[in-house]
Amino acid sequence: MPIDRMIEKAYELVQKKRIERVGDGVYNVVGEHGTYLVAQRTDGTFSCTCPGFLKRGGCSHLLAVLLLHNPALLRSVKRYVSGAWNRKSKRKKPIELNV
Ligand SMILES: [Zn+2]
């Protein structure tokens, strides 16, 4: 998944309140393809149980938990995401063919 798409998805998870704190540094994140457990390790880093994290070491669930922890980061992401949305809506419509 491209990083900007991952950021958008993470922001969406926060906005839709898909993150539930289940314990100390442990969160249930309801993603599109299932519910995953994001947990903070003793060294402060986070891990996730989804296949994407296992493969790449990063995912939107983990990012969403980080955003939840960091309101300043969430604000910058909000600006970034709304900018991306604006760019999309300004995009020209595909040319219609009159056949
Ligand atoms: Zn994940």
Token digits of residue 48: 């996730």
Give Rg (Cα) of the chain: 16
> Do the beta carbons of residue 22 and residue 28 sit within 8 Å?
yes
Q: With 70 as the cut, is the pLDDT of residue 36 above it?
A: yes
pTM for the model: 0.80
Measured in Å, residue 62 CA sits from the centre of ligand 1 at: 6
Of residues 55 and 87, more confidently modeled: 55
Q: With 80 as the cut, is the pLDDT of residue 21 above it?
A: yes
Question: What residues does each domain of the chain span?
Answer: 3-82
Measured in Å, residue 3 CA sits from the centre of ligand 1 at: 14
Q: With 80 as the cut, is the pLDDT of residue 96 above it?
A: no
H/E element, 65: helix 60-69
Residue 32 banded pLDDT, cuts 50, 70, 90 = confident
> Do the beta carbons of residue 38 and residue 65 sit within 8 Å?
yes
